Amino acid sequence: MKESRTKSRKPQKEKPAPPRVGLFVTCLVDLFRPSVGFASVQLIEQAGCSVDAPSAQTCCGQPAWNSGDRADARAIAEQVVATFEGFDYIVVPSGSCAGMLKVHYPELFKGDAAWGPRVAAFAARVHELTSFLADVRGATIDAEFDAKATYHDACSGLRELGVKEQPRKLLAGVKGLELVEMPDCETCCGFGGAFAVKFGELSGSIVATKTGNVEASRADLLIAGDLGCLMNMAGKLKRDGSRIEVRHVAEVLAGMTRTAPIGQRRGKQGGGGWSR
């Protein structure tokens, strides 16, 4: 009688857990355009990450920073840093807010022995959405949108974070989308947060020039990565009677284009407020 033998099985290696991403939603997305947040979650998950949007998050503190209120800006920054510790990445669907977290937070805590290293570690994990998808994750896009579009390079994303080719590279993967460049695509739209309030006449002149460039591109869709810029330009286009649609890049990349364009109504969109 032959002795039976059992083959020993090699222990299977456990798959590494997906990177954990904390989504910094931003105030404008939370209050005015939640679809940008949902689109961002979809894109990040498709890029192989898990996503959480901590409910304790607040404003990034940029209004206080720009107004010279360093004490309140610092208090807000401490809360944000504490809220997002433990994540592998912090991703922001806004170059403006991402710039505040990545560039200006370390300036706030320069020379602080206790908070300085903690903030530096936080800032190193912060990424603007399209930069994260293209540069960090090498994401591919599977979406369709039949439109002729032009892209606005928002100031903070471009000048503080180097976001330029990333959204264009990703948009090239959207089937049916033709991307054309407007004149002076890198020129400010005139929003600048509190700037548009403090210097309304000057802001209005700048956005008029910008929307003129948008019209000159003969595109039927305007895309950008900052909701503040998009709302500003959409308002001007609407007041001028333009038929150009305005959308956040995340919505186009995620294929979430059934929601009414920014500044327009298409059925009942619902109120603001981030929930998932």
Tens digit of pLDDT for each residue in 62-109?
999 999 999 999 999 999 999 999 999 999 999 999 999 999 999 999
pLDDT confidence tier of residue 266, bands split at 50, 70 and 90: low
- Percentage above 90 pLDDT, the chain: 83
- Contact criterion met (CB below 8 Å) for 213 and 181: no
- CATH, residue 114: 3.40.50
- Minimum mean pLDDT range among 76-85, 108-117, 197-206: 197-206
Per the document, the length of the chain is 276
> Residue 274: pLDDT above 50?
no
Question: pLDDT band for position 19 (50/70/90)?
Answer: very high
121 contacts 86 by C-beta, under 8 angstroms = no
Identify the CA nearest to 26 among candidates 188, 169, 180, 157: 157
**The last residue of a domain, from among 87, 110, 133:** 133
Please indicate, yes or no, if residue 92 is contained in any of the structural domains: yes
User: What is the pLDDT confidence band of residue 197, given thresholds at 50, 70 and 90?
Assistant: confident
Structural domain of residue 87, as residue ranges?
A: 20-133
Q: Are residues 123 and 157 in the same domain?
A: no
Indicate if 177 and 88 belong to the same structural domain.
Answer: no
The set of residues, in sequence order, having a beta carbon less than 8 Å from that of 201 and lying 6+ positions away, is none
Burial class (CB in 10 A: 0-12, 13-18, 19+), 111: exposed
pLDDT band at 251 (very low <50, low <70, confident <90, very high): very high
* Residues 92 and 59 placed together within one structural domain of the fold: yes
- The verdict on 125 and 150 lying in the same domain is no
Tell me, yes or no, whether 124 and 59 share the same domain: yes
